[in-house]
Structure 1
């Protein structure tokens, strides 16, 4: 597709710019919303902020472009949904406690 903007006036170019910016913001909002729909409030999630170790917490709420996560240590983070991973919960056995079995290391 070829769009000829050479003959547009300054006013038309400014208007075109505003329309392009608004359209890009709308598309970005759609992508963020789609990513958020992979998660539910109350769900355990993890993320890894730069310079820190992996953080695990509970997704508390959806914001406009981020989600609020409260970590297990009580910290509040606003995180972009594309940085989140779901945390799989361990199912406990009938007695109510999970058992971890250590396997011998290969030599």
Structure 2
């Protein structure tokens, strides 16, 4: 499908531009959403901010285009999911209940 933009009026070109920009934003949001779904809340992740060493933390929240990660040092970062990697637990370690606090049953 081709569009002959030479025949469009200024108003039609402006409308077409707005529709194109909105479509590109939608596609970007969909791409970010698909990337976010590769991770779950509570996953241990790592990322490297510009000019810093690698940071490791826990994914705590999905945002519109980013995810929130709380680092082991307690810092809160909003990170693009494209910059994240899942942390693989060391062999022989049991992480299944590492953040679970046992409650006394009565």
Report the equivalent of 1:76. 76
Show the counterpart of 2:101.
none
Partner Cα separation in structure 2 for residue 91 and residue 41 of structure 1 = 22
Give how far 1:89 is off: 1.1
Please say if 1:38 is aligned against 2:72. no
Alpha-carbon offset, residue 90 of structure 1? 2.0
CA drift of 1:64 comes to: 0.3
Deviation at 1:93, TM superposition (A): 6.1
Alignment match, 2:17: 17
How many pairs align?
Answer: 94
Deviation at 1:4, TM superposition (A): 1.3
Structure 1 partner of 2:28: 28
| Structure 2 unmatched ranges of 5 or more | 95-106
Look at both structures and tell me which one has the larger radius of gyration over its CA atoms: 1
Relative distance call for 1:33 and 1:57 in structure 2 (3 A) is same
Structure 1 residue 62: Cα displacement: 0.2
Q: Which residue number in structure 2 is paired with residue 55 of structure 1?
A: 55
Q: Structure 1: where are the runs of 5+ without partners?
A: 95-107
What is the CA–CA distance in structure 1 between the aligned matches of 2:43 and 2:24, rounded to whole Å? 30
- TM-score with structure 2 length normalisation? 0.84
Q: Please report the TM-score for the alignment, with normalisation by the length of structure 1.
A: 0.83
